[in-house]
Amino acid sequence: MVQQMAQVGKLLIGVWMAGVAAAMFLIVPQYEGLGNAGRIIIMHVPTAWVSVLAFALSAIFSGLYLWRRKPAYDDYALAAAEGGFLFTALATITGMIFSEVVWGVFWNWDPRQTSIFVLLLIYAALFALRSAIDDPQRRRQLSAVYALFAFVTVPFLVFVAPRMAESTLHPNCVFIQGSHCDGITLAEGRIGLLGDHKLHLLELERQGDVVTAHVLVGEPGLARETLLRPSFNLATGTMMDRPEFPGVRYQLGLERVDLASNSALLNIEAPGTGVLANRTTLYTFLASTTGFTALFIWMLHVRATLLGIAWTLAQREGVRL
């Protein structure tokens, strides 16, 4: 009976994920300016969330092992850490694909990319630690302690560190419905950073109710710059022309103008802003998150069971694992 339920569960997960993939490419609407590449968000964000869940479970099972000293808890802790590493790698790969479309490069050491790379190194060190210790009991104990300390870094590296950086193009705000990027206020002649781009506000030109900002845009450290001209309607208080940053799909918007101080609020906008406002996209996103979570739980159980079987067989044969 249990085996039959397991088979049905595997079948349901497979059908569910196939349905998510079909919906992602056939039903979810394209994001303006991003085309089909924007659909990868349906996979990228859920895999990142599942990786955090996996690392949390690894820490929980590690704590249980230190408390109860049951090898099964160590098996689940290791399986969860491996799953977290796998899903973090998937999130990184899908993020790199999206990065190439939006930023024009697969990897540019953005704060988000750098923090995830550090996270992968931390858990790779856990696996190296386990492989370097021969004594099973000592290996389990040290690994459990390491996993607990490793998880302390997860919230910081995933949620805090990328948001502390002033220079990042990772869409923390522009792709989340109801959120808002802070932007940067510059006076004429001043220079500042918006994301990974240097902005130099040359002048504000007014023609009737329309104010146009002449902004030199370039990446820090690079000599090449591009002149962009976002505009703002004083009568309606709304943005008008929003030119794209050079080489990427983000747009430069002029959100507010203060003619008394000759200053302007410039901000990043993205074609994907508010994508989850579309119900089809939202439901597919939630289905993807549910599917990846179920897939991870199944993988966790299978991997931990295999580790337990390997340990039992090794005990019978007198081999130290």
Cβ(173)–Cβ(181) below 8 Å: yes
Helix axes 41-68, 136-155, angle to 10 degrees: 140
Q: Are 114 and 245 found together in one domain?
A: no
Cβ burial, residue 25 (10 Å; 0-12/13-18/19+): exposed
- Neighbour count for residue 182 (Cβ, 10 Å): 11
pLDDT of residue 177: 45
Same domain, 154 and 196: no
Measured in Å, how far apart are the chain's first and last C-alpha atoms? 32
Q: How confident is the model at residue 313 (pLDDT cuts 50, 70, 90)?
A: confident
Decide if pLDDT at 202 tops 50: yes
Tell me the range of 81-90, 133-142, 186-195 where mean pLDDT is highest: 81-90
Same domain, 115 and 212: no
Phi, psi dihedrals of residue 259, rounded to the nearest 5° = -70, -25
104 plus 149 within the same structural domain: yes
pLDDT per position as a tens digit, 45-88? 899 999 999 999 999 999 999 999 999 999 999 999 999 999 99
Give the pLDDT score at 223. 59
How far apart CA 157 and CA 164 sit, in angstroms, is: 10
Percent of the chain with pLDDT over 70: 80
3-state secondary structure of 251: strand
Structure confidence by residue, pLDDT tens digits, 145-180: 999 999 999 999 888 877 666 555 565 555 544 445
Cα-based angle 121, 61, 153 (whole degrees, multiple of 5):
35
Average pLDDT of 109-118? 85
Question: Is 99 part of any domain?
Answer: yes
Which of 130-144, 166-180, 231-245 is the least confident region?
Answer: 166-180
E-assigned strand segments in the chain: 184-187, 191-194, 197-207, 210-218, 226-228, 231-233, 238-239, 251-258, 263-269
Per-residue pLDDT at 321: 55
Ramachandran assignment for 318, one of left (phi > 0), alpha (psi -120 to 50 degrees), beta (any other): left
What is the C-alpha to C-alpha distance for residues 126 and 129, in angstroms, rounded to an integer?
5
Sign of CA dihedral 39, 42, 45, 50: negative
Task: Tell me whether residue 178 is in a domain.
Answer: no
Residues 261 and 146 in one domain: no
- In this structure, the answer to whether residues 88 and 215 fall within a common structural domain is no
The per-residue pLDDT for 315 is 77
- Tell whether 145 and 12 lie within a shared domain: yes
With respect to residue 117, please indicate whether it lies within any of the assigned structural domains: yes
Is residue 13 domain-resident?
yes
Which pLDDT belongs to residue 178? Answer: 45
Residues 289/42, Cβ–Cβ less than 8 Å: no
State residue 319's pLDDT score.
58
Measured CA to CA in angstroms, residue 294 lies from 56, 172, 188 at distances of: 16, 26, 54
Residue 94 covered by a domain: yes
What is the number of structural domains in the chain? 2
- Whether 11 and 47 map to the same domain: the answer is yes
Q: What is the pTM of this model?
A: 0.75
Q: Are residues 28 and 161 in the same domain?
A: yes
CATH number of the structural domain spanning residue 290: 1.20.120
Q: Are residues 79 and 153 in the same domain?
A: yes
Number of Cβ atoms within 10 Å of the Cβ of 151: 22
* Average pLDDT estimate for 92-115: 79
Mean pLDDT for all residues in the chain:
83
Domain around 248: 184-269
236 is written with which tokens?
């309606």
- Whole-number Å distance between alpha carbons of 232 and 64: 59
Give the list of residues 6+ apart from residue 113 with CB closer than 8 angstroms, or none. 92, 95, 96, 99, 107, 170
Shared-domain flag, residues 34 and 159: yes
Q: Is the pLDDT of residue 102 over 70?
A: no
If asked whether residues 265 and 283 sit together in one domain, one would say no
Task: Give the mean model confidence (pLDDT) for residues 252-269.
Answer: 88
